[in-house]
């Protein structure tokens, strides 16, 4: 049924009584700033506080996205509710008498409001019933479980309103329906009783002989229960069903008690179980919540992000297989936010394999806090999981680990972060062999770039230029390396051409060879300073080409040290006689090959910048978006200049010319 139109007097009374700070503070962490309050805007991904609330004006406004209005509009926009729904909810909260413009609908309206109020009333009364039962002889086993095994104090038991559901099939039913005279239909709608199959009008209690844990909403009202069996009865934990008040995917256990501590400590901790939360709160670590026995949802994570400015969330799930899977599922829900830096996600696995409750039985709260402080970022944890149990000495397992790492790093949007992790993973994969680290880093970089890079058409829809084919690029780079190896008088020209434009070879085996060349050159120059033997003059000195040691000979010696790497470049040490005779064309080859390499690097930068620009919210980061746009334009202009000159086409003609000979790769 549609909600009837409300009387203007009702709307005005709600507007007068609803306090903007009171309403907004339930959803946004507000900090006093002069006469107003400030916080992170809930209507866009605010990185720094741009949201203000004015108590004197009863108005909110975001200087970043422009959202603004009164308390009613705030709730309408935040929850996507209608005007009437928000006013009715506020009327109930501030005890405003509701009037409608249609007297005949007033009774139905009051009934709708009354149903939710009665459900809250029934659940609150049930929580008190369970609390009372816990302290009766029938609840002795449950109370001993809490005090002896869980080591909870009376204060903590009362704080969380822990209770006991008696073992009888109709104990609660009799109390609520027969003694308190609540309608059976309402008690069923509250999720407390279940109809018997094949027996019309007959019901039994949903929770029997269970330790009861009330679940509260942000206003501290009971909306459901979690029940733990005290014996072998399955399931071990039984939650209330979905009801009008209880939505498992949108409620976090103990958030009503934890949100102030989350805001104060600027960090939220998510654990698996009710008793993990209760034990941590009892130990003074109160910025802790738990999901409702299901995978953590994106909606629940976004709730937590409202209370922490730095967006720091720690997942502390059990270290067993089930806990690891739960952590991976939870990460999957928020991976997109984490990759974009919208949440600083960390993963804590207690080293002993215990859950937080078990850990605190033998350790201090300070010990747990230290583990929290040292918990690794989610990406580090994912990498650890990829490597765990794998034998990196086995080729198939090594490749499997590399592929998982590439898949993880390919989605990292920040280039500096990618570079950090590529280096970190190369060190791990090298198994403490420092010589392998640079090569592994290059290989990872190439694979990550390849996986990240969609086609130019898919990214920009711009088909005005084409990427240089890999087959031609590898031939081009090989030509430049051959020129350097076999024509010493042009070595400085090659170095200058590459360094002037800060260019690098695109293929890892070419980069490896180039690094060895430069390293060998530096070593020989160092010897040149300390030796009287003129045979050790710098390999780049053209005056002593005949007497200096043969560069290729030195490089061939490296084949015993780096057999796999050198195998891919060994063919460059041989030179065709026809190519040797065509030395007059070398300057043109240098210019053309360097232009080809530059074209490829411009192309890569263009694609990366375009991807980052697409992932940037222009309204939130206009300066960054403008910077990306300018860089994209500059790269594209340079690409067009290189395309117009058609330098790589001329190079292809050079490579194919009969006088020079076709260089085989």
The tens digit of pLDDT for each residue in 98-146 reads 777 666 666 665 666 678 888 999 999 999 999 999 999 999 999 999 9
Residue 663 has pLDDT above 70, yes or no: no
User: Would 8-101 and 113-246 be classified into the same CATH topology?
Assistant: no
Stronger pLDDT, 627 or 661, i.e. the higher one: 627
With a CB cutoff of 8 Å and minimum separation 6, the contacts of 224 are 123, 191, 214, 215, 239, 240, 243, 245, 246, 251
Contact by Cβ (8 Å): 421, 428 = no
Q: Would you state the structure tokens that stand for residue 374, as one six-digit string?
A: 């040292």
CA dist., res. 117 & res. 109, Å (int): 13
Range name among 361-365, 417-421, 520-524, 536-540 with the lowest pLDDT average: 536-540
> Distance between alpha carbon 16 and the CA centroid of its chain, in Å?
42
Confidence of residue 645 (pLDDT cuts 50, 70, 90): low
User: What is the DSSP code (8-state) at residue 270?
Assistant: E
Over residues 199-227, the mean pLDDT reads 92
What stretch of H or E contains 171? helix 171-173
For residues 603 and 467, is the Cβ–Cβ distance under 8 A?
A: yes
Q: What single DSSP character describes residue 343? A: S
Distance CA(298)–CA(330), nearest Å, equals: 9
When mean pLDDT is compared across 171-175, 321-325, 436-440, the lowest value belongs to 321-325
Task: State the Cα–Cα distance between residues 498 and 492, nearest whole angstrom.
Answer: 10
Give residue 525's pLDDT: 64
Average pLDDT over residues 604-619: 74
Q: Are 663 and 655 in contact (CB under 8 A)?
A: yes
Residues 6+ apart with CB under 8 A from 149: none
| pLDDT tens-digit map of 519-572 | 877 766 666 555 544 444 444 433 333 334 467 877 877 777 777 777 777 777
Tell me the H-state helices in 487-561. Answer: 491-500, 508-530, 551-557
Minimum mean pLDDT range among 107-121, 163-177, 370-384: 107-121
Just give the CATH number of 113-246. 3.90.980.10
DSSP state of 253: B
Looking at domain 8-101, which of 3.90.580.10, 3.30.70.141, 3.60.70.12, 3.40.190.10 is its CATH number?
Answer: 3.90.580.10
Judge whether residue 614 has pLDDT over 50.
Answer: yes
Sequence spans of domains, the chain: 8-101, 113-246, 250-384, 389-452, 470-656
Q: What is the mean pLDDT of the chain?
A: 81
- Distance between CA atoms of 64 and 527, rounded to whole angstroms? 61
Beta-carbon contacts of 405 under 8 Å, excluding residues fewer than 6 positions away, are 383, 386, 425, 429, 444
Q: Return the pLDDT at 101.
A: 65
C-beta separation of 102 from 5 below 8 A: yes
Confidence bin at 585 (pLDDT 50/70/90): low
Q: Are strands 268-271 and 288-290 parallel, antiparallel or unpaired?
A: parallel
What span, in angstroms and rounded, lies between the C-alpha atoms of 419 and 403? 17
pLDDT higher than 50, residue 652? no
Separation between Cα atoms, residue 165 and residue 127, nearest integer Å: 10
User: What helix, strand, coil percent values describe the chain, rounded to 5?
Assistant: 55, 10, 35
* DSSP string computed for 281-297: HHTT--SEEE-SSSPPP
The rounded distance, in Å, linking the Cα atoms of 122 and 159 is 20
Please indicate whether residue 452 or residue 362 has the higher confidence score (pLDDT): 362
User: What letter does residue 661 receive in the DSSP assignment?
Assistant: -
Omega prior to 479 cis, within 30 of 0:
no
Residue range 250-384, CATH number: 3.40.1360.10
Backbone angles phi, psi at 229, to 5 degrees: -70, 145
β partners of residue 210: 165, 229
Please give the backbone phi and psi of residue 633, each rounded to the nearest 5 degrees, phi first: -65, -45
- Write the pLDDT tens digit of every residue in 319-352: 667 777 777 887 877 887 888 777 899 999 887 7
Measured from the Cβ of residue 113, the count of other Cβ atoms closer than 10 Å reads: 15
Q: Around 145, how many Cα atoms within 13 Å sit in the side-chain half-sphere?
A: 17
Identify the pLDDT of residue 540. Answer: 42
In percent, the amount of the chain with pLDDT more than 70 equals: 83
Q: Is the pLDDT of residue 661 over 70?
A: no
Phi, psi of 144 (to 5 degrees): -65, -35
Of the candidates 243, 223, 227, 225, which has an alpha carbon nearest to the alpha carbon of residue 235?
227
> Could you tell me the pLDDT band of residue 243, with boundaries at 50, 70 and 90?
very high
Q: Which residues contact 340 (CB under 8 A, 6 or more apart)?
A: 413, 615
Q: Inform me whether the pLDDT recorded for 229 exceeds 70.
A: yes
- Cis, peptide link before residue 235, omega less than 30° from 0: yes
- DSSP track, 572-605: GG---HHHHHTGGGHHHHHHHHHHHHHHHHHHHH
| pLDDT score of 375 | 93
Read off the pLDDT of residues 440-483 as tens digits, 9 standing for 90 and up: 988 898 888 888 755 434 434 444 455 666 656 777 788 888 88
pLDDT of residue 107: 64
Q: Higher pLDDT residue, 153 or 249?
A: 153
Could you tell me the pLDDT band of residue 170, with boundaries at 50, 70 and 90? very high
Cα separation, 550 vs 486, in Å, equals 10
8-17 vs 83-93: helix axis angle to the nearest 10?
60
DSSP 87-136: HHHHHHHTTPPP-BS-HHHHHHHHHHHHHHHHHHHHHHHHHHHHHHHHTS
Which span out of 228-237, 492-501, 617-626 was modeled with the highest average pLDDT? 228-237
Question: Is 50 exceeded by the pLDDT of residue 32?
Answer: yes
Above pLDDT 90, what percent of the chain? 31
Among candidates 332, 306, 299, which has minimal Cα distance to 315?
A: 332
The most confident of 70-84, 336-350, 361-375, 580-594, by mean pLDDT = 361-375
268-282 pLDDT per residue, tens: 999 988 999 999 999
Q: What is the reported pLDDT for 206?
A: 96
Q: Please give the helix or strand (H or E) that residue 229 lies within, else none.
A: strand 222-229
Is 62:41 a contact under the CB 8 Å cutoff? yes
Q: For residue 657, name the pLDDT band (cuts at 50, 70, 90).
A: very low
pTM, rounded to two decimals: 0.59
Q: What is the pLDDT of residue 425?
A: 94
DSSP letter string over 379-423? HHHHHHHHHTT--TTSHHHHHHHHHHHHHHHHT---HHHHHHHHH
Is residue 465 helix, strand or coil? Answer: coil
């Amino acid at each position: 049924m549609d909600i009837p139109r409300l009387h203007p007097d009702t709307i005005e009374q709600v507007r007068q009584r609803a306090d903007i700070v009171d309403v907004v503070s339930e959803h946004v962490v507000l900090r006093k700033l002069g006469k107003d309050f400030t916080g992170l805007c809930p209507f866009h991904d605010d990185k720094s506080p741009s949201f203000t609330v004015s108590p004197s004006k009863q108005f909110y406004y975001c200087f970043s996205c422009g959202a603004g209005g009164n308390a009613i509009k705030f709730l309408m926009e935040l929850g996507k509710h209608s005007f009437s729904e928000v006013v009715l909810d506020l009327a109930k909260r501030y005890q405003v008498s509701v009037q409608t413009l249609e007297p005949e609908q007033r009774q139905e309206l009051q009934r709708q409001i009354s149903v939710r109020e009665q459900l809250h009333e029934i659940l609150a009364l049930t929580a008190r019933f369970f609390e009372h039962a816990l302290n009766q002889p029938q609840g002795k086993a449950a109370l001993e479980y809490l005090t002896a095994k869980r080591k909870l104090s009376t204060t903590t038991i009362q704080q969380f309103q822990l209770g006991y559901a008696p073992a009888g099939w109709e104990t609660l039913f009799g109390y609520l329906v027969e003694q308190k005279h609540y309608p059976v239909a309402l008690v069923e709608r509250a999720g407390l009783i279940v109809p018997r199959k094949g027996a019309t009008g007959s019901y039994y209690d949903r929770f029997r002989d269970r330790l009861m844990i009330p679940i509260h909403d942000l206003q501290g009202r009971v909306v459901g229960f979690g029940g733990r069996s005290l014996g072998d009865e399955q399931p071990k934990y039984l939650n209330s069903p979905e009801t009008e008040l209880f939505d498992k995917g949108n409620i976090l256990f103990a958030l009503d008690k934890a949100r102030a501590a989350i805001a104060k400590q600027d960090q939220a901790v998510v654990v698996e179980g009710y008793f993990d939360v209760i034990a941590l709160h009892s130990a003074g670590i109160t910025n802790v919540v738990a999901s409702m026995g299901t995978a953590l949802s994106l909606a629940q994570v976004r709730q937590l992000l409202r209370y922490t400015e730095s967006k720091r969330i720690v997942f502390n799930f059990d270290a067993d297989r089930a806990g690891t899977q739960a952590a991976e599922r939870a990460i999957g829900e928020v991976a997109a936010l984490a990759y974009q830096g919208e949440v600083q996600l960390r993963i804590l696995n207690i080293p002993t394999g215990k859950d937080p409750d078990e850990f605190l039985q033998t350790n201090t709260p300070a010990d747990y806090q230290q583990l929290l402080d040292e918990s690794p970022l989610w990406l580090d944890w994912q990498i650890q999981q990829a490597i765990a149990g794998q034998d990196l000495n086995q080729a198939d397992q090594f490749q499997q680990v590399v592929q998982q790492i590439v898949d993880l790093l390919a989605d990292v949007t920040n280039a500096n972060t990618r570079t950090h992790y590529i280096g970190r993973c190369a060190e791990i994969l090298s198994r403490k062999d420092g010589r392998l680290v640079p090569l592994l880093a290059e290989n990872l970089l190439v694979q990550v770039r390849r996986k990240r890079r969609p086609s130019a058409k898919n990214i920009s829809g711009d088909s005005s230029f084409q990427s240089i084919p890999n087959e031609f690029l590898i031939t081009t780079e090989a030509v430049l390396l051959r020129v350097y190896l076999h024509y010493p008088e042009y070595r400085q020209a090659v170095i200058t051409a590459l360094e002037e434009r800060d260019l690098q070879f695109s293929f890892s085996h070419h980069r490896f060879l180039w690094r060895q060349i430069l390293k060998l050159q530096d070593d020989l120059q160092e010897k040149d300073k300390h030796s009287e033997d003129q045979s050790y003059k710098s390999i780049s000195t053209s005056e002593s080409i005949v007497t200096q040691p043969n560069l290729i000979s030195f490089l061939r010696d490296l084949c015993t040290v780096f057999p796999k790497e050198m195998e891919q470049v060994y063919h460059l040490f041989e030179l065709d006689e026809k190519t040797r005779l065509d030395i007059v064309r070398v300057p043109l080859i240098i210019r053309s090959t360097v232009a080809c390499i530059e074209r490829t690097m411009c192309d890569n930068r263009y694609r990366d910048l375009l991807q980052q620009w697409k992932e940037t919210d222009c309204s939130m980061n206009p300066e960054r978006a403008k910077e990306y746009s300018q860089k994209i334009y500059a790269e594209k202009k340079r690409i067009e200049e290189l395309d117009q000159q058609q330098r790589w086409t001329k190079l292809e003609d050079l490579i194919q010319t009969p006088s020079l000979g076709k260089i085989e790769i």
